[in-house]
Structure 1
């Protein structure tokens, strides 16, 4: 029988002091900026009906995933940085693992369907509205969310079915590899299922994104200079987002295997990089690089200011 009330101890945190306070301050500001940037982007997309198109709907969901990842981990890290007690219940650790992996899986899934959307837009422009219908957009997003939830629920079941013989985690957050390493014995089923998860959530999306951009590149090379410029402008934010998230994932993977041999400061940064940086950069990248979002932001801002001026004028 699984004992969910087992207490685990985080060993990567130091006692509260100057370093902890400094990391807390940076994490706190980053979390506030992440929430503000993602909520702002979601409001812009929601309020401007001209942005109710597949690419922006996917971007809206990318922001939701970013908020889930940040809110799952960063408040917990900030709490442990200031608290003398670095304990977590096994059940809460499993829950944190679920949402962290859910965040990563959903981001990769959404980035993949965004690449498909860009491929259809550039390579099959005349068929775009026939292919990317509202129903298809909803189905693609539903597949990402529902499949991720079902797959991860089964993974948590397999992970929790193996009894624990160790109770210390040398990391800032819970992850599946950390929990598996605490088990009394290695489970071939857990290892195999984890490998399948890597293929489905990382390798497969990477391959699809690369294939989409290879096709886009071939089509763009045959197009006019103006068409090439437009394709680059359209794809640049997505490519930057894809590279940013993939590099963060790679750093996280390296950290998971080398954290015991890394300097403490680098250990702290790499352990939160996967959650700390991408959710903040994604809305900023799209906000700065996407002309329609910038226009919508200015339009909404001008409406609010204009409405405020009128109300003040009437009140006067």
Structure 2
């Protein structure tokens, strides 16, 4: 079903591409469904439960928990944009994906990744204000401003990611129809293009550096302010409590950025040393691990959510 590109051969814009999953693993990649399947299930159950709890409990209609709900909705979208197709390819082998659907998936994967990074920055700023200026927090951070921030993040993601499918759609000829990847990543599709792809390469590199660098610098600065404020607290117990309120967010940040940066560095600088199946595996872990872990981290570390979840899912005892 999958064809290898032939020298000096080109194809007009195909009606569909063929996703191969992890090249070189053959039938062995079906075993990876035992890894990615539970990840996706945890993403659905965990983020769905968080959204349901925040929606049902009016006491949780506060900026911090509303930002968490935005993160959970983003995680649900990100995992769903990748996991069903990934699991189908791993279990059933190379699968066709319509040309238009490939571009749509490309848009949503990159856009939701940008939104998630922006939400983590917004959550870091929220914690910096809560710890550094607690008396002014109710005035500076309101539900309306959280809504505006979420809208701004969505609009920013659309604006910066729309060029990806448009830059691909301008090409009319391809070297092959087979994408050596598990989803329609921008650069994986660009590798098949016949023509000058410098604009795609430069825009992809510039966008990755700009978005990641700005958000990471903002998060680092926010936690620098948090550390400065916490270290000025008079007692060890107060400092421990303040750090404890931020520990879950730190875990979420590490779960998102560490595999993401490692995947990015291996793709840009380690092509000769890191096998392609390893790079593709890392890119899928990067997209599915945070949505699976985030609900567990917040459910375990946030007392209000943990208590509400236990109350919801623990059977009530009959009173006589």
Tell me if both proteins adopt one fold, taking TM over 0.5 as the criterion. Answer: yes
1:199 and 1:178 map into 2 onto residues whose CA distance is 18
Distance 1:13 1:76 in 2: 16
- TM-score scaled by structure 1? 0.88
- Does residue 284 of structure 1 match 2:296? yes
Which of 262, 266, 269 matches 1:251?
A: 262
Deviation at 1:83, TM superposition (A): 2.5
4+ runs of 1 displaced by more than 6 Å?
Answer: none
After TM superposition, list the pairs within 5 Å mapping 1:165-204 onto structure 2: 165-167=174-176, 168-204=178-214
| Deviation per residue, 1:138-175 (Å, 9 max, x gap) | 11110001111122123321232134432232222221
Query: Any gaps of 5 or more consecutive residues in structure 2?
Result: 1-11
Q: What is aligned with 2:222? A: 212
Q: TM-score, normalised by structure 2?
A: 0.87
Aligned twin of 1:65: 74
Residue 227 (str. 1) matches residue 238 (str. 2): yes
What is the alpha-carbon distance in structure 2 between the residues aligned to residue 271 and residue 207 of structure 1?
A: 23
CA RMSD of superposed structures (Å): 2.4
Return the offset for 1:136.
Answer: 0.9
Shift of 1:195: 3.4
1: CA distance between counterparts of 2:18 and 2:99?
Answer: 10
What SS does the aligned partner of 2:54 have? helix
Specify the alignment match of 1:27 in structure 2.
36
Which stretches in structure 1 are left out of the alignment for 5+ residues? none
Confirm or deny: 8 A CA contact 1:13 1:81 kept in the other structure: no
Deviation at 1:198, TM superposition (A): 1.8
Tell me whether 252-261 or 290-299 shows the greater mean CA deviation: 252-261
Q: SS of the residue aligned with 2:183?
A: coil
Count of paired positions: 305
